[in-house]
Amino acid sequence: MKKLMKRRKAIVSLAFLAFFAFVAMVAISFFFEPVSIKLGSQFELVPIEVADYDINDIGVADVDQDGNLDIFTTNHSAQQSLLMGDGTGNFVEVLADVGLSQDRQFPRLENSGRSPKMDAPGFYIYRQDNLLHLVAKDTEAYGNASGSIELSAVVEFVGQSQAEVDVEQTELPSGIIASRIQFDISPGGHLDIKARESSSNKVVLEIPHQVQIADNLPLSAIFVGRDDVTPDAHSFDLMWRDRHSMSWSDVNDDGLLDVFVGRGGIHGKMRLFPEEFYDELFINQSDSFEDKVFQYQLIKDDCPGRQSAWVDFDSDGRLDIFNSCGRNASDGLERTHQLFQQQPDGTFEDIAPRVGLNLPRPGEFVWLDADSDHHPDVIAIQNRELSFYHNQDNTFTPEPIGNLADPRNKQFSVVDFDEDGSLDIYIAGKLKSYLLQKNEDNRYQMQDLREKGLPGYSLCANWVDYDNDGYSDLHVIPGGLYRQQPDHTFERIQVLSNEAAVVRERINRLIGWDRMRYQKARCSWFDYDNDGFRDLLMAQRRDSIFNRSVDRFKGEDPPSKKWEVRLFRNKGKNQLSDAHWLSVVLKGTPGNLEAIGASVSIETPAGTQTQIVGSSEGSYFSQGHYRMYFGLGSHEQATTVTVEWPDGRSQVLSNIAADQLLTIESIGSEASA
């Protein structure tokens, strides 16, 4: 009897300990951001180094067209990454080497969380944690470091030692305050400068800085950026560009991917500044990129760019650019979206007002040929309004779908998951997510996510057949993988999930606390090692109540700009020997070599899967992942592979062997593996 009582007491004690441990875990997760990811047996964490400061977007493209997928990021005015993959899991950073730095004269001048090494005596100029730092290190041999900096912003000095400073401020007709800083820094001294808006405490980085350094300092002793680049003269400009999106395509049909870069709008106040601002169009010169935005006549026109995408909206065989713009906070005016139509001579003209796509409010979008008439349509968010814009003879007619719970950033993910011949769309949202499917009238409508077993909220989402069983599954953050069942419902399997964050969010929603609004994440699935099983690239901002409190105590502007980037390798090749696959890349015609707007249908005895070029896209605001991935399950070949090209032509290949990357060239050329 005593033994039984002791056993009961031990069980009760263990139960209490488990309960209190659970409560402590949840309580801690409210203040500290939980980062543990439940991997399961099919995934493993592999090391990768990515520019992780102030990420805006992360994406995938085969930049050098070698068949191996590469990784890129946009980081506002901070250091970016362009990682070239070799197909075995190795990546090499090349962004600065190929001329894609934000300041071409001073690579790695971008904002960062790190400072240069400062190994040699000299005068160092660099940006760290939003501040511009001037440091005179061991400059006794040259004397004081003196000069001036001019910029269109109010300046504050948040750190100063052995430095004399004089500031002259001038109010411009637009209300912007321009500053001219004259500095004189003794050896061993430093000056830390914060530039902000005239009417708020918001930091302003993306404006030119005109710098003049006294010539007592030799050029060889002046070091700019984290790469310690020496200037060509004592007078030079510094530039940061607030990059939001990167959209890749072969603009000039030379077989090399070029990239359109969409830039922000200085908190919606760009038009108030005296400088001219432009987006960027980098043309690939084989070993480097050159900005040709003026040659192609892409006019920014005060657009606070958010998302961009290439699309042949008028089916003329030439790719156009759709660029979403945000609200201009300076005057309450809304900057309408831009549709740059490519002209026969290769230049671009904004025709959005003529075709009904001069949408006035900020919001995300996705292009797809919803009615299979070879004229791409677009689904777009305007504040809380979700609408389908039907392309009818190159004029767009809005058809309302419904209202969203909140207007914050959304991500579209597109695939025909139930294989009924119509594309399905999952819209990831922090407060609420949505599923769009066609009804009996062939119109998109919102479906009940609970009936399908899909998550009701998410930070990011991708359709992915992670186990190549022939069914498209859904991955979201924080909930992880939702595996599709044969009846086209879904079951959460607690793989690649953040269970602490899931529990915390459930409690938040019970008590009505919108905790997820502080969170941001990006996720993209791609086959980085070419083994046929897609791997997960995930970035999440480390932002918690604790982090925000620390930032405020340090006098910094929350939220935290530090992200955590992780790469998870899919080990399915070693574990699922009966799961076959087929990856497809299309080679289109000149003007649209990526075949954007095409669809591929793969038939096996189990059914027909359909994807569009871009179904694999995991970026929020960018574009470039044009490879398509099909799981074939136990089938060792595809009975047919049917391509619907953007111009309306069809091409059918029969009895295609599984387990290969298949490249299909437009009609007139043979398919090659």
**Alpha carbon of 146 to those of 154, 181, 190, 307, 437: distances in Å?**
20, 10, 11, 42, 64
Dihedral-angle region of residue 131 (phi above 0 means left; psi in -120 to 50 means alpha; beta otherwise): beta
Dihedral-angle region of residue 584 (phi above 0 means left; psi in -120 to 50 means alpha; beta otherwise): beta
Query: What pLDDT does 671 receive?
Result: 43
Residue 113 lies inside a defined structural domain of this protein: no
Are 335 and 381 in a shared domain?
yes
CA dihedral 37, 42, 45, 47 (to 10 degrees): -150
Q: The CATH number of the domain where 198 resides is what? A: 2.60.40
Residue 112 lies inside a defined structural domain of this protein: no
Q: Is 553 exposed, middle or buried (0-12, 13-18, 19+ CB in 10 A)?
A: exposed
Query: What pLDDT does 275 receive?
Result: 87
Residue 116 lies inside a defined structural domain of this protein: no
DSSP 353: H
Q: What is the Cα–Cα distance from 145 to 184, expressed in whole angstroms?
A: 6
- Helices vs strands, H then E, count in the chain: 6, 43
Contact call for residues 83 and 92 (beta carbons, < 8 A): yes
Residue 93 lies inside a defined structural domain of this protein: yes
pLDDT tens across 349-382, in order?
Answer: 999 999 999 999 889 999 999 998 999 999 999 9
Q: Say how far residue 376 (Cα) sits from the centre of its chain.
A: 23
Dihedral-angle region of residue 514 (phi above 0 means left; psi in -120 to 50 means alpha; beta otherwise): beta
Strands 434-438 and 424-428: antiparallel
Residue 22 lies inside a defined structural domain of this protein: yes
Are 330 and 267 in a shared domain?
yes
Written in H, E and C, the secondary structure of 587-639 is ECCCCCCCCCCCEEEEEECCEEEEEECCCCCCCCCCECCCCEEEEEECCCEEE
Query: What pLDDT does 672 receive?
Result: 43
Side chain identity at residue 484, one-letter code = Q
Domain boundary among 210, 238, 266: 238
**Alpha carbon of 74 to those of 90, 144, 244, 263, 460: distances in Å?**
21, 37, 6, 10, 16
Residue 406 lies inside a defined structural domain of this protein: yes
Contact call for residues 639 and 605 (beta carbons, < 8 A): yes
Whether cis (ω within 30° of 0) applies to the bond prior to 187 is no
Domain boundary among 523, 552, 570: 570
Region of poorest pLDDT, from 290-299, 331-340, 386-395: 331-340
Residue 109 lies inside a defined structural domain of this protein: no
pLDDT tens across 133-187, in order?
Answer: 999 999 999 999 999 999 999 999 999 999 999 999 999 988 899 999 999 999 9
Are 76 and 9 in a shared domain?
no
Half-sphere exposure of 336 (CA within 13 A, CB side): 14
Are 16 and 92 in a shared domain?
no
Q: What is the Cα–Cα distance from 540 to 460, expressed in whole angstroms?
A: 10
* Non-local CB neighbours of 51 within 8 Å, separated by 6+ positions: 73, 75, 78, 79, 80, 81
Query: What pLDDT does 1 receive?
Result: 58
Are 284 and 356 in a shared domain?
yes
Are 204 and 271 in a shared domain?
no
Does 413 have pLDDT greater than 60? yes
Query: What pLDDT does 670 receive?
Result: 43
Domain boundary among 238, 264, 292: 238
Q: Residue 30: enclosing H or E segment and its boundaries? A: helix 2-31
Contact call for residues 195 and 207 (beta carbons, < 8 A): yes
Please give the backbone phi and psi of residue 142, each rounded to the nearest 5 degrees, phi first.
-110, -20
The position carrying tokens 């919001």 is 363
Identify the sign of the CA torsion 9, 15, 18, 21.
negative
Are 560 and 517 in a shared domain?
yes
Does 286 have pLDDT greater than 50? yes
Q: The CATH number of the domain where 550 resides is what? A: 2.130.10.10
Integer-rounded Cα Rg, in Å, for the chain is 27
* Non-local CB neighbours of 533 within 8 Å, separated by 6+ positions: 466, 468, 527, 570, 571, 572, 573, 576, 581
Assigned token pair, 198 = 């005239």
Nearest alpha carbon to residue 183 among 222, 142, 211, 223: 211
- The confidence band for 673, taking pLDDT boundaries of 50, 70 and 90, is very low
Half-sphere exposure of 17 (CA within 13 A, CB side): 6
Nearest alpha carbon to residue 114 among 282, 264, 277, 226: 226
- The confidence band for 482, taking pLDDT boundaries of 50, 70 and 90, is very high
pLDDT tens across 54-102, in order?
Answer: 999 999 999 999 999 999 999 999 999 999 999 998 999 999 999 999 9
**What is the number of domains present in the chain?**
4
Q: Is 622 exposed, middle or buried (0-12, 13-18, 19+ CB in 10 A)?
A: buried
Domain that holds residue 638: 580-665
Are 421 and 540 in a shared domain?
yes
Q: Where are the beta strands (DSSP E) in 267-370?
A: 280-284, 289-291, 305-311, 320-325, 338-342, 348-350, 365-368
Contact call for residues 319 and 312 (beta carbons, < 8 A): yes
Does 662 have pLDDT greater than 60? yes
pLDDT tens across 419-469, in order?
Answer: 999 999 999 998 899 999 998 888 999 999 999 999 999 999 999 999 999
CB atoms within 10 A of CB 106: 25
Assigned token pair, 601 = 């249908």
Among 22-31, 263-272, 323-332, 629-638, which range has the highest average pLDDT? 629-638
DSSP β-bridge partners for residue 237:
210
Residue 673 lies inside a defined structural domain of this protein: no
- DSSP 3-state helix, strand, coil percentages of the chain (rounded to 5)? 10, 40, 45
Are 49 and 178 in a shared domain?
no
The position carrying tokens 């799961």 is 579
Measured between its terminal Cα atoms, the distance across the chain in Å is 74
Q: Where are the beta strands (DSSP E) in 450-533?
A: 460-464, 473-477, 480-484, 490-492, 521-526
Are 195 and 87 in a shared domain?
no
Q: What is the Cα–Cα distance from 417 to 463, expressed in whole angstroms?
A: 8
Are 358 and 399 in a shared domain?
yes
Nearest alpha carbon to residue 519 among 480, 554, 559: 559
Query: What pLDDT does 414 receive?
Result: 96
Query: What pLDDT does 546 receive?
Result: 57
Are 288 and 379 in a shared domain?
yes
pLDDT tens across 502-555, in order?
Answer: 777 677 666 666 666 678 899 999 999 999 999 999 999 866 555 556 555 555
DSSP 113: S
Whether cis (ω within 30° of 0) applies to the bond prior to 362 is no
